[in-house]
Amino acid sequence: MATFVDGPARVSVPATSANLGPGFDAFGLALSLRDELEAEVLTEGLVVDVAGAGADGVPRDETHLVVRAMRAAFELMGEQPPGLRLSCRNVIPHARGLGSSSAAIVAGVVLARGLVAGGQLLASDEALFDLAADLEGHPDNVAAAFYGGFVISGREADRWFAVRAGVDPRITAVVFVPPDGVETTVARGLLPDLVPHAEAAANSGRAALLVAAITGQPEHLLAATRDWLHQDQREPAMPKTLELVRSLRADGVPAVVSGAGPTVLAFGSADTTDLLARCPRGWTPHELSIDVEGARLT
C-alpha cells in the first residue's frame, strides 16, 4: 500500500512546441514559459483552484485534466488518496499550440508521485512518461514537457519512446500568440489521409536536417524547418498564422506553426529586437529560451 506524504507537493512544468515544421508528431521542444501547480492530500473531498490562463474554461471537479492525470498515476502506484486539494497557476495559453494539455497531464502525474512516499520506487520516469503519453494519445508535447529540451519521440512495439538530443545554446525562440485559439481536433481534421511520395521523402530529409540544426548547426534552421505534411493543409483554420509564417520565412526567419497552431514559433538568436517587432496587432509575443529541465518538483 502507498503511504502519502504530509504537506503539499509543488511542480513546475514548461510549455512545449511540437512538430517544429517537418517533425510531425515526433519532435518536441520545451520552452521557458511555466505553469506552477500545488497539490496536497486531504482527509476527504476534492478542492480545485485555478487562476491564470484558461481559468474560465476548465472544470473544478474530477474531470479536470490535472486531477484525471493524478488519479491515473495514483492507480499506477496502487492507492487513491481519501481527498485532494489542487491549486493551478497557469501561464501557458490554452488551445494555442503550446502544449497546455500536455503540461496539465505531466504536472498531474509528477504531482501524484510527489505525494506518495517512495513514489520513485513505485513509478519510474519511464512509467510516468508512458502513462502521460497514453493519456494524451501522442508523445511529442508530453515528452518535451516531462524531460525538457529537444526530444524525439514515438511508438515502437507497443511502447512509447523518447530520446533527448542537445540544443545549441545559440538558439532562442520567439512565439507569437494570437487572441483566438484553434482546437487540436479541428486542426487534425484538416490533414489528408495520403501525401505524395515525393513530398514525404522531402519532409523526411528536412526532419533529419532539423536534428542537426538544433543540436549544433543552427545556420541550417531555415531550410530544416520546411514542412510538406501539415502546415499548409491547416491554413483554412488559421489563415493569419500561415500568413505570418510565410512572411517571416520570406525574410529568412525560421518560422513554423507551433504544434497544431495557431501560435507561430520563430527561431532567433541573441538579439530578437527586430523579430519581436514583427508581432501582428492584437497578438502577444513571448521571447523565450529553450527549457532544458522539463517538469520538476519545487
CB 170 within 8 A of CB 220: no
pLDDT at 270 over 80: no
Closest CA relative to residue 291, chosen from 136, 106, 82: 106
Based on the fold, state whether residues 24 and 151 are members of the same structural domain: yes
Based on the fold, state whether residues 196 and 96 are members of the same structural domain: no
| Count of domains observed in the chain | 2
Angle of CA points 228, 231, 234, to nearest 5°: 130
- Mean pLDDT calculated for residue range 66-87: 97
Task: Say if residue 96 carries a ligand binding annotation.
Answer: yes
Based on the fold, state whether residues 178 and 113 are members of the same structural domain: no
Task: Say if residue 269 carries a ligand binding annotation.
Answer: no
Based on the fold, state whether residues 161 and 284 are members of the same structural domain: no
Q: Predicted confidence band at 134 (pLDDT cuts at 50, 70, 90)?
A: very high
pLDDT at 86 over 70: yes
| 171-211 residue pLDDT tens | 999 999 999 999 888 888 999 999 999 999 999 999 999 99
- Mean pLDDT calculated for residue range 280-296: 96
CB 87 within 8 A of CB 60: no
- Mean pLDDT calculated for residue range 131-150: 97
Task: Say if residue 100 carries a ligand binding annotation.
Answer: yes
> What CATH number does residue 240 fall under?
3.30.70.890
H runs (alpha helix) in 22-124 = 65-77, 100-114, 119-122
pLDDT at 83 over 70: yes
Predicted TM-score (pTM) of this structure:
0.96
Based on the fold, state whether residues 79 and 220 are members of the same structural domain: no
Of 114, 138, 166, which residue is a domain's last?
A: 166
Based on the fold, state whether residues 190 and 134 are members of the same structural domain: no
Based on the fold, state whether residues 130 and 257 are members of the same structural domain: no
Quickly tell me which residue has 489563415 as its cell.
239
Based on the fold, state whether residues 141 and 156 are members of the same structural domain: yes
Residue 183 lies in a domain: yes
What is the rounded average pLDDT for all residues in the chain?
A: 96
| 12-69 residue pLDDT tens | 999 999 999 999 999 999 999 999 999 999 999 999 999 999 999 999 999 999 999 9
Task: Say if residue 17 carries a ligand binding annotation.
Answer: no
What is the distance between the alpha carbons of residues 47 and 8, in angstroms, rounded to a whole number? 13
Based on the fold, state whether residues 191 and 126 are members of the same structural domain: no
Task: Say if residue 101 carries a ligand binding annotation.
Answer: yes
Based on the fold, state whether residues 184 and 139 are members of the same structural domain: no
pLDDT at 234 over 90: yes
pLDDT at 268 over 90: no
CB 272 within 8 A of CB 292: no
| Residues 6+ positions from 93 with CB-CB distance below 8 Å | 53, 54, 100, 177, 181, 263
DSSP 81: -
Of 166, 192, 207, which residue is a domain's last?
A: 166
Residue 1 lies in a domain: no
Residue 73 lies in a domain: yes
pLDDT at 262 over 80: yes
Based on the fold, state whether residues 46 and 150 are members of the same structural domain: yes
Residue 91 lies in a domain: yes
Helix (H, G, I), strand (E, B) or coil at 173: strand
Supply the pLDDT for residue 186. Answer: 87
**Structural domain of residue 116, as residue ranges?**
8-166
> What CATH number does residue 49 fall under?
3.30.230.10
Residue 2 lies in a domain: no
Based on the fold, state whether residues 222 and 159 are members of the same structural domain: no
What is the distance between the alpha carbons of residues 235 and 227, in angstroms, rounded to a whole number? 13
Residue 54 lies in a domain: yes
| 98-129 residue pLDDT tens | 999 999 999 999 999 999 999 999 999 999 99
| 148-177 residue pLDDT tens | 999 999 999 989 999 999 999 999 999 999
Q: Predicted confidence band at 1 (pLDDT cuts at 50, 70, 90)?
A: low
Of 150, 166, 182, which residue is a domain's last?
A: 166
Task: Say if residue 98 carries a ligand binding annotation.
Answer: yes
Task: Say if residue 268 carries a ligand binding annotation.
Answer: no
Residue 131 lies in a domain: yes
Task: Say if residue 94 carries a ligand binding annotation.
Answer: yes
